[in-house]
Amino acid sequence: MTPRTASPDGLLTLDSPLGRIALHGDQHAVTRLEIATEGRLSTDGRADSPTPVLHRAATELGEYFAGSRTAFTVPVRVAGTPFQETIWQQLREIPFGEVRGYGELGRATGRATAGRAVGGAVGANPVPLLIPCHRVLASDARITGYSAGDGIPTKVWLLDHEGIAHR
């Protein structure tokens, strides 16, 4: 039996209204999306090595930022604990312009009191935007945090972009 070799990792860096974004992936899927924090990416200094999937993701993100796309179709591949993967699947189901609460996500997993664990899973999402973790708010529409980009200001921009009321 011939060992299967992994597809080479790809990287594509693009500018966005949120700052620079680094897309990571291979020939089949996006595996990570990083929004610059204080203007810096972990890949600074590394040359881009884009794949067709990363180009497709960049096109879809451009359409999203321009206001002409409300859902992403580019394939993503994420790996986490079973609980994280359950939460990430629920995030994928939140439509553009709508929100869910941390408690609501917890109840949907059968863990109604798992708000902190839900928050941890939401914050561990490796492909923000493509899996819309910014669409999760406290039950009173309050922003409690955001782990991508510059944190809460990044989430505020995304919520405003989608016309989502928040405080």
**97 counts as catalytic:** no
Residue 112 in contact with residue 106, Cβ under 8 Å? yes
Distances (CA, A) of 153 to 15, 50, 65, 102: 17, 29, 16, 20
Of 29, 117, 127, 133, the catalytic one is 133
Q: Helix 82-92 and helix 115-123: axis angle, to 10°?
A: 80
Instruction: Yes or no: say if 145 and 151 are a contact pair by the CB < 8 Å rule.
Output: yes
Nearest to 160 by CA among 66, 93, 97, 114: 97
**Phi, psi values for residue 83, rounded to 5°:** -65, -45
* Residue 47 DSSP label: P
Residues taking part in catalysis: 133
